[in-house]
Structure 1
Amino acid sequence: MSKTYTNSSTKFSFALRLIVVYLLQLFIKAFDYSFGGVFPLTFRGMIFTFTFVTYWLTIWYASEYIQKKISHLNTISIVTINVLIGIYCGLSSTVIYMLGDTYLFQNGDLWEEIPFYNPELSVALCIIYLLIFTVYAYVQKIFQLKEKEVNVEQLEKEMFKSQYIALKAQIEPHFLFNSLSVLSSIVHTDQNLASEFIIKLSKTLRYIIEQNKRVLVSLEEELKVVEDYFFLLKTRFGEAIQLQNDIDPNVIETIMIPPASIQVLVENAVKHNKLSQKKPLCITIALKENLIIVTNNYDKKEAEEISTGMGLSNINKRYQLIAGKNIIIEKNQDTFKVSLPALSTIDHENFNH
């Protein structure tokens, strides 16, 4: 929906610019009696229209590019730069107009008493540019706000979808059965372990249920939940599963990620791979070049449920909406690796409110 909306707004934006510059060249023709009318059916008239519609569209797009580059400057600097662009637009258009008339159409006599900068035309075009810049900036602001609303709406839908996927994966009968089976086997033999198991299970389920209320969480918070979740796996599988966290604890507070991202990757690793004490499933979490890398040895189960890929797809869609980034999935005969972009507190401030 967002992509469709963006394409529509881009087409509308181009159509709007085309109409504006076309009307502008008609306005100039109306004051230049040498054309013999606003819609002269002459070669000179067509060349004038094509040249200035193309030139002013180019200036418009170039100006838009400049606006993006100077958006961090203060208002006075932005206005000053745009005044200079307006002056350039007026002077350059006048020179092109004069040279074209003089050398292409042999109408140099029309410009004999007019200075090359033609103050009336140059100033008029400069003022028109500034007016268009002001109005267009306002229109662009409206479109940006509208697009942001669409993205927020999509993000909310993805959050509910993520909650559904996480709940479905965790509260399936077999998950509860296996967890309760493990609990029942230790409750009479090791009450302390059983108590800790219940606490970890409660924390994991609470996190999964409540995570839809937030767009981003700190890596520190996510890793704590992964540790709780891994405790449940470790209690169930023993030495058949291993988890190694190689991320420096000093950096995890400042890194943000979509909630349950790593937890889902750990869950997928268990779901899709064989594991035994002789050949344990080894999962590692590392940070390299602004990527959180989750890797596990790949030994696909011979018989397993067909994966829909919705877990990875959901994580990727949330990254696209939040930061315009994608996760990286790499798989070979022995290894499955997923790289998650490490987001910042700026993304948290923009979306987690």
Structure 2
Amino acid sequence: MKSKAIHIFLARLLLIYGLHLIIKWGDETFHHFFDFTRRGIYFSFFVISLWMLCLYLLDYIKKKWFTPRKKPFAYLLFCIAYGYVFALITNVVYRYTDIRYFGTDWGDIGYFNPMLILGILILFISALSFYEYFQTELTVKENQLLTEKLKKENAIAHYKLLKAQIEPHFLFNSLSVLSSLVHKDADLASDFILKLSRLLRFSIDRNEQMYVFLDEETDFMKDYFFLIRTRFGNSVTLKNDLDIPDRRDVILPPGTLQTLTENAVKHNGYGPENPLNIRLYNDKEFIYVSNNIIPKENPYESTGIGLVNLSRRFHLLCRKDLDFGITGENFTVRLPLISKTTDYAYLDH
């Protein structure tokens, strides 16, 4: 990110330097492009500094109030007005300083010079259009690279996830629970088989996808937790306090909630008298997965599907990292709440 910011800065500096040479070329008071007199150096420094500030201020305004691809005409009109204001500032401040400190005779040219302002405005709009075009092309290519990286990352993660779910311990424990249920509760055994099959099917079907919708992920997590609850009974509880009206708009990497639930179950000690309580909740920006900490005598060896891998996948998907840590007696993971329609419409499901 730092390298990209430097490249953008240098590209803008080169572009503005070239434009200011065009203005110099049109000003007969300068003898040539590279006029290194005190006045020439002042002019170059003033124009370059002002218009670099202009571009970075425009970046801030665009990020805060505009989405060019959704409001192209409003953005164009704003850029024209914005460029006019800075062209006027360039004219007024430079004329005042040039007359007062360098004694240049501007003749009948007043502070409001329509031709000069129009010329600078045309240069600004042309340069901005050129820059926006190549910025869009660069963004498209970056998104393509991110998409490929995310596909690779998810393929690795889901391979590990599927491997963990069909490893001997997982199957042995699931089949042991199932064998005991068959003789005690046929209906519960049937539900257990159904949830287990859906769990494995989800892992296989979503192996190539970069993301799933929140409602799919919560259904997947519920199937997984059903197996856990059947095995451990009241020793493990799950409270879903997610308050998100449109769960078909929120996306996240496949297996996210199941992975965090699995980690909580594996890395804590619990029992009927001291249950493990897992809670899901959210605010406007994040989804939280929290559980009470119960130290385990013999810590479970991780399968490799951990927070580091999950954080990398979130970063590739939304360029934000998940955050986790201990708050009081709880371990909490904070996940960025990603809206597909507002910021990530370029992704193909």
- Report TM bin, short chain: 0.7 to 0.9
Give the superposition deviation at 1:104: 0.9
Q: Deviations over 1:11-37 (max 9, x none)?
A: 232222212222223233334343333
Letter of the 1:156 counterpart: K
C-alpha change, 1:97 and 1:281, in structure 2 (3 Å) is closer
1:78 aligns with 2:75: yes
> Aligned equivalents of 2:175 and 2:200: distance in 1?
14
> Aligned equivalents of 2:344 and 2:88: distance in 1?
46
C-alpha change, 1:182 and 1:53, in structure 2 (3 Å) is same
C-alpha change, 1:115 and 1:294, in structure 2 (3 Å) is closer
Task: Assess if the C-alpha contact under 8 Å between 1:261 and 1:315 holds in 2.
Answer: yes
Give the superposition deviation at 1:282: 2.7
Larger Rg: 1
Q: TM-score normalised to the size of structure 2?
A: 0.85
Count of matched residue positions in the alignment of Structure 1 and Structure 2? 346
Q: Deviations over 1:327-347 (max 9, x none)?
A: 342325742222334444526
1:44 aligns with 2:10: no
Task: Assess if the C-alpha contact under 8 Å between 1:325 and 1:341 holds in 2.
Answer: yes
Choose the corresponding residue for 2:289, options 291, 294, 298: 294
Give the superposition deviation at 1:324: 4.0
Letter of the 2:259 counterpart: V
Q: Which residue of 2 aligns with 1:101?
A: 98
C-alpha change, 1:325 and 1:24, in structure 2 (3 Å) is closer
C-alpha change, 1:152 and 1:90, in structure 2 (3 Å) is same
Task: Assess if the C-alpha contact under 8 Å between 1:218 and 1:255 holds in 2.
Answer: yes
1:18 aligns with 2:29: no
Q: Which residue of 1 aligns with 2:347?
A: 351
The residue correspondences of 1:321-336 to structure 2 (distance < 5 A) are 321-331=316-326, 334-336=329-331
The residue correspondences of 1:204-215 to structure 2 (distance < 5 A) are 204-215=199-210
> Aligned equivalents of 2:156 and 2:314: distance in 1?
14
Q: TM-score normalised to the size of structure 1?
A: 0.84
The residue correspondences of 1:146-161 to structure 2 (distance < 5 A) are 146-161=141-156
C-alpha change, 1:303 and 1:36, in structure 2 (3 Å) is same
Give the superposition deviation at 1:132: 1.0
> Aligned equivalents of 2:67 and 2:246: distance in 1?
30
Q: Which residue of 2 aligns with 1:57?
A: 52
Give the superposition deviation at 1:326: 3.8
More displaced 10-residue stretch of structure 1: 53-62 or 321-330: 321-330
Letter of the 1:82 counterpart: C
> Aligned equivalents of 2:229 and 2:242: distance in 1?
20
Letter of the 1:144 counterpart: T
The residue correspondences of 1:72-221 to structure 2 (distance < 5 A) are 74-107=71-104, 110-221=105-216
Letter of the 2:294 counterpart: D
Give the superposition deviation at 1:268: 0.9
> Aligned equivalents of 1:48 and 1:249: distance in 2?
55
Task: Assess if the C-alpha contact under 8 Å between 1:216 and 1:352 holds in 2.
Answer: no
What is the DSSP-based 3-state SS (H/G/I as helix, E as strand, rest coil) of the residue aligned with 2:254? coil
What is the DSSP-based 3-state SS (H/G/I as helix, E as strand, rest coil) of the residue aligned with 1:212? coil
Instruction: Please list every run of 5 or more consecutive structure 1 residues that lacks an aligned counterpart in the other structure.
Output: none
Instruction: Please list every run of 5 or more consecutive structure 2 residues that lacks an aligned counterpart in the other structure.
Output: none
More displaced 10-residue stretch of structure 1: 8-17 or 148-157: 8-17
Task: Assess if the C-alpha contact under 8 Å between 1:254 and 1:344 holds in 2.
Answer: yes
Letter of the 2:24 counterpart: K
